[in-house]
Amino acid sequence: MSRLRVAVAMSGGVDSAVSALLLKRRGFDVFGVYMINWDRAEEGTSTCPRTKDEADARYACEKLHIPFISVNFVKEYWNDVFVNMLENYRHGRTVVPDIACNRHIKFERFRNYAVEKHGAQFIATGHYVSTSLGDFQENRLRPAENVPDIRLLCGLDPLKDQSYFLCTLKQEQLNVAMFPVGSMTKTNVRRIAKEQGLDEIATKPESMGICFVGKRKNFNGFIDQYIEPCPGEIRTLSGKLLGRHEGVHHFTLGKRIPIQGCHLGYFVANIDSENRIVYACKGSHHPSLYATEFSISEPQWICKNPLADREHVTVECRIQRTHPPIACSLKRLGESVLLVKPVLPLRAVANGQMCVFYNGRECLGGGEVQKITSTLDY
């Protein structure tokens, strides 16, 4: 009987390497795939930071004695992820490109490539999440069966849980996905890598910044290569002119603005992209920064819509991965719009940001913040 074939998305990091190792130990036919999704030459620079990650991915595959393949998705990443991110930034919206990257690239383009070109039955990544099928799909009865109502579950390690970034995955994507480190802690993952002799990546720092693009020392300068200057004004909430700016894409709700004149500092309280005005408040804890309710549009549910047969429901939500989930009520405002009321005011809820919903350990899905409808009085 032939072994089940699994393609592992090798990032060059320790999580994907250990995922491949654990799959091999369980007897799967494993091969590694490194995705090239960004080309520094497009920026006009000669250096190529992905070379190190690609080399580390190849190194891990060689140490584990599994095949290594690289595939180029630069065009697909640009069209499916980066262009949408730029368009949102132009309008002062704070999007999370990693979410689109996971849905369109890692679990769509990569999945199709692995299945159609290399005969894989499953794909695996190093994400710290689980599903109701099990980290290795051990709860599945038959390999070729499409299992209904697959639930996405938070990773066991709350500090590493990445369910926030996978909140828009579809059932057909989860149906072929394995998450070998989902029930592990980062400490144990590094320990296993070291014991296996993967010394070059066992203590490698985690990747930061935009998915596949990476962290930039001068992010504004990087974005300015793709978004033309669009000057506007910086004003207080009462309308007083504080200064000028070169584009609303440089600003995010709740972030400090480098303007003198207030010992508490000025922070972005609102962005009027149509009139190119950035409104500032005094201090990082100004009441205007705290949303008491907001609306989200086009919510996407992973398994079942909790509002399918009711007008309102109580769940938990988070607007940033590092924030703990907080209880909230959801109310339908229309066919594709929900009103979210957290039990406590949430700081710096920005238009375009993803609000992700939970029921205990289960990630229900999420939707982009459309509008802040109420803040604390000021």
Catalytic residues: 101, 211
The tokens of 24 are what?
């091999």
In angstroms, rounded to a whole number, what is the distance separating the alpha carbons of residues 161 and 155?
5
| Neighbour tally for 302: CB within 10 Å | 25
CA distance 158 to 321: 10
Give 214's strand partners: 210
Please name which of 58, 323, 361, 3 lies closest in space to residue 200, comparing C-alpha atoms: 58
Strands of the sheet with 5-9, listed across from one edge? 68-72, 29-36, 5-9, 122-124, 177-178
Task: Tell me how far apart the alpha carbons of residues 110 and 103 are, in angstroms, rounded to a whole number.
Answer: 10
Query: Would you call 117 helix, strand, or coil by DSSP?
Result: helix
Q: With b meaning 16 or more CB within 10 Å and e meaning fewer, what string describes 193-227?
A: beebebebbbebeeeeebbbbeeeeeeeebbeeeb
The structure tokens listed for 21 are: 């190792």
Please give the structure tokens belonging to residue 271: 């962005």
Name the amino acid, one letter, at 98: D
Six token digits for residue 209: 């910044």
Gap between the Cα atoms of 278 and 233, Å rounded: 6
